[in-house]
Chains A and B, each alone.
Chain A
């Protein structure tokens, strides 16, 4: 608790004790026909706890009137309580407890709100506790701590075990494991070696790393993320705007109704029904309960708090949502459009099959890898990766590359021909066509067909599950867009269970395809998921753009509305579930608060509700709404 909060708590306790003590004393000494202690003694005594608990509110209300800001909650509370005291004085029943209780509960509510908000604010900033405080720079063999902001690009920094990586860079010395849980929600540490790029915000766990910085601190991943998260709740959702507008109308409307309630019904009774003037206090009392109910606090605080908690909870899972408005849109998504490469598939080519003929698989792969050793094509990289052993270039001679077809080379004295159909035709080698989908590399050894290697872009492990989860969470249609060949695209789509697929698209076709889908799907919202590198136009065109695997990619963070920090496509359905939970809480709170408030207003007008019920309608509803809002932070098991 802060100092301010403690002070309020002490005031609440003192006032509560005094109030109860006075009530008991009044029961024995002041009640009945022959009170031992008479008025105005009680009135003066009761004013002590009232003053203790309410002086700041009365002061604020008075200042508000001077500044012509009448309809604020301080004013409402001041009028309601002073009014209640006045009614008690007129009716001579000595019941000042109500006025004090209203003030008391109001303060309890305010205190609770301030603690709850402070707590969730801290909670979320702890989640996002990735801001590095310093960077170690080696000067004359000694480490010196420098402000990350002042470290220039290209400086060599040292990151010791247990420290946060302060700036994005390239490892020049050392190996270690990095904990990226704060960035991606992924708890398995990542092993890094010299030559690897590392991202600021991750925590170095085991070894000392020397890093050459590649970016300034302000451009580093950690700064971008912090900026994004901190500004997220500034983009307000429609629900928040609705509540702000509602509050602006609601409070004055209830105040005028209260005024009308205090004047019109008793006037009517006195003039037309010849009632005595004693009906006034009853109606004034009813009007005062109106004022207590009229505070829109529950709504005004719980809605932004829900969004804030939802965004914070998502952040913990490695899902960065750029604003409350996007959280709202995300909850209405019914169509999800995917880019294939890099989103549903890994985007790197891998040897997915070796179909041998005369030699063993390993041998075939060895010849292929060796023959391709001089090429920088992604395909030869994947061959070398599949081979997995050191490549001895001295074994390879007479390399001849035929552009667009393949390679001829001599490996260990064996003439190797490796390439596609065209090359095989030209070299007049009878080859077997493969039924697998992907890029087929035929291999011939000394003019004899030896088999082929299938290279394809493989799906991510979670892609199939991700599509199934999306379906389960109520997404109606999934579409895959790709620039890849039709056969490849359709095989991937049917394997993963995607509803529709469009293949052989140019980047501009993707935009028009998304536009067509937007037209088709007027009711729900459309989300586009891409890897963010060349999808920027589509990401902006869709109702909501989701970029994934965005660690370190500035372009993606700029263009997308939702950024998934790691590559896992399962996070898409998770993001949608988080948004739905958050929005459900928002609607629960709006409905709950409005129903209770209007019910109490009606009961109050009819005379069934006293001030105690009114204070529940105000403070009780607010407390419940806040507790409900905080639920949005818990998203782990969604």
Chain B
């Protein structure tokens, strides 16, 4: 299942880092961060609890880029 989230991030490299961090999160099958439209498309692994996964995603993203926001 795919879901799109609105994000806020200031630099393009940070967006790339967020993408990497999200991809490495458990329960995420794939992710694309679109810096230009400030959107994040997350593909969840089968049977994953998206709310819990997104919480972890946000935590991991904050680790790589403190100044980012994901609107859940």
Contacts and interface: CB of A to CB of B under 8 A. Distances in A.
Bound together: yes
Contacts of B65: 69, 72
B64 interface: yes
A247 B13 CA distance: 8
The residue in A110, A114, A233 that gathers the most chain B C-beta atoms within 10 A of its C-beta is A233
A73 B66 contact: no
Contacts, number: 60
Contacts of B37: 121, 230, 233-234
Contacts of A244: 16
Q: How large is the interface on B (under 10, 10 to 19, 20 to 34, 35 or more residues)?
A: 10 to 19
B63 A67 contact: yes
Given A69-B64, A301-B11, A234 B16 contact: no
A247 B16 contact: yes
B10 A301 contact: no
Contacts of B17: 69, 72
Contact of B12 (A230, A234, A236, A301): A301
Nearest to A251: B13
B52 interface: no
Main secondary structure of the interface of B (DSSP, over half): mixed
Interface in B22-41: 32, 34-37, 39, 41
Contact of A234 (B13, B14, B39, B63): B39
Given A234-B41, A296-B13, A301-B11, A60 B36 contact: no
A285 interface: no
B63 A69 contact: yes
B16 A110 contact: no
A296 B14 CA distance: 11
B36 A308 contact: yes
Interface in A277-307: 296-297, 300-301, 304-305
A113 B10 CA distance: 9
The residue in B13, B36, B39, B63 that gathers the most chain A C-beta atoms within 10 A of its C-beta is B36
Interface string B6-21: 0000111110110000
A631 B38 CA distance: 21
Contacts of B16: 244, 247-248, 300
B69 interface: no
A67 B34 CA distance: 24
A234 B32 contact: yes
Nearest to B60: A67
Contact of B36 (A67, A296, A304): A304
Contacts of B39: 230, 234
Contact of A305 (B11, B36, B41): B36
B13 to A, nearest CB: 4
When A and B form their complex, which 7 residue pairs have the shortest distance between CB atoms, in order from nearest?
Answer: A308-B36, A301-B12, A300-B13, A300-B12, A234-B34, A67-B63, A234-B32
12 contacts: A72-B14, A113-B11, A114-B10, A117-B35, A120-B36, A121-B36, A230-B37, A233-B34, A244-B16, A297-B11, A300-B13, A305-B12
Interface of B: 10-14, 16-17, 32, 34-37, 39, 41, 63-67
Given A63-B66, A236-B32, 7 more contacts: A60-B67, A64-B66, A230-B39, A234-B34, A234-B37, A234-B41, A301-B12
Interface of A: 60, 63-64, 67, 69, 72-73, 110, 113-114, 117, 120-121, 230-231, 233-236, 244, 247-248, 296-297, 300-301, 304-305, 308
